[in-house]
Structure formats: structure tokens, C-alpha cells
Amino acid sequence: MKGAELIGCVLVLLMLLGLSSCQGEGQVNTAVLYPEFTHGSMDWEPEEMTYTEELSPHILAQGLSEATGLSFKVETAQMDDGTLTIDWALDSTLFAVAEDRNSQAEALFLDGDSLRWFMLDSMAQTVRVNLEITSVYYTMDGGKPLVLEGLYPPVDFWNMPYMGSAFYFAQEALIGASGG
């Protein structure tokens, strides 16, 4: 009987090893969403989300969409050595805000600019932390420079990583203070 018990134990051990190698697929993991509202009156706390696929900017954008009710839709996202380029989908709330301000989530913002800064800051912070990204670049329409008509302060998003709304507002204040 000892030989049969040994064979039984080996079979059980092999089954367990086989099951553990499959755990990565479909395993529930968590990431943290960072809704950043630097230039507004409300405070949104970081929020955990779960996912089962390989973590990507698309999954994080979907999590931000679900958490906020805004469309953080991304067309493409390319990662290379700590740098991420996000191409925003033209039908995301980032662009639709100028046309339709009826969404309940959009009503939380004072104006379209504060909503846009919220989306840009939230996406940048969320991907930086969860994907260990050092630089985030934003584009639109298949890799063209991101242009947000009427955004204050005006920003040229081309050839420079996204620095965060606080940076751009500080730059505008410095320009205003110098009379330039």
C-alpha cells in the first residue's frame, strides 16, 4: 500500500502544480484609480478596481470611465521604456464636452476646462502609478498633436510630456506676472 499511497501523492502533487501554473490567467488583480481634481472644489479619493487581463492603459481608462461616468476612451496606447503615448479617442468626453454638457458626471464641473484638466490629470496619474510610467504624452486622431480648442490655459501638447494642470497654471501665472 505504501507504493500506491506514494503514487497517489505524486499524482495529487502533479495536479496541484498544473493548477498553479494556470492561476495567472483569469486571476483577479487590483489597480488603483487616481481621479485628480487639482483645479476644482471636490475631492475624489483614489479607488481600487479589479481586472483579470494583463493591465494596460485601456483597462485603466475603462476603470476611470466606470468610476467617474465620463468616457476616458483611448484609441491606442504605446509603451516604450517608461514612456507612454496615449492617443485619445475623438468620441471620448475629452472632446465631446464642448458639444454636450448634459451628463450627470459632467454637471459636477464648473466648466469644460475643469472637466478636461480633470481627465488629463486623472489619466496621467493613474497610468504613471499603476504601469510605472515616467513620461506620458497625449495625442489625438491617430497620433496628431492633441488640440483642445479654447482650453485655458492654452497648452501645446506636442513634443513635451504631460506635466499636469498645476504646472500649466503655474506657467500661465508666471507669464501673466511678467507681462508677457
Tell me: the pLDDT tens digits for 114-157? 899 999 999 999 999 999 999 999 999 999 999 999 999 999 89
What pLDDT, on the 0 to 100 scale, is given for residue 111?
Answer: 85
Structural domain includes residue 19? no
The pLDDT-based confidence of 13 (bands split at 50, 70, 90) is: very low
Structural domain includes residue 43? yes
Choose between 59 and 101: higher pLDDT: 59
pTM value? 0.79
Structural domain includes residue 33? yes
Give the Cα separation of 169 and 61 in Å (integer): 25
The pLDDT-based confidence of 19 (bands split at 50, 70, 90) is: very low
* Cell 464636452, located at residue: 97
Structural domain includes residue 12? no
pLDDT in tens, 146-165: 999 999 999 989 889 999 99
What pLDDT, on the 0 to 100 scale, is given for residue 105?
Answer: 62
Range of the domain at 47: 27-177
What pLDDT, on the 0 to 100 scale, is given for residue 108?
Answer: 72
What pLDDT, on the 0 to 100 scale, is given for residue 17?
Answer: 40
Structural domain includes residue 157? yes
Structural domain includes residue 11? no
Cβ atoms < 10 Å from Cβ of 153: 15
Kindly compute the dihedral angle of the four CA atoms of residues 40, 91, 46, 112, in this order, to the nearest 10 degrees.
0
Structural domain includes residue 125? yes
Give the count of domains, the chain.
1
The pLDDT-based confidence of 9 (bands split at 50, 70, 90) is: very low
CB 101 within 8 A of CB 92: no
Structural domain includes residue 16? no
Instruction: Decide if pLDDT at 178 tops 90.
Output: no
pLDDT in tens, 44-82: 789 999 999 999 999 999 999 999 889 999 999 999 999
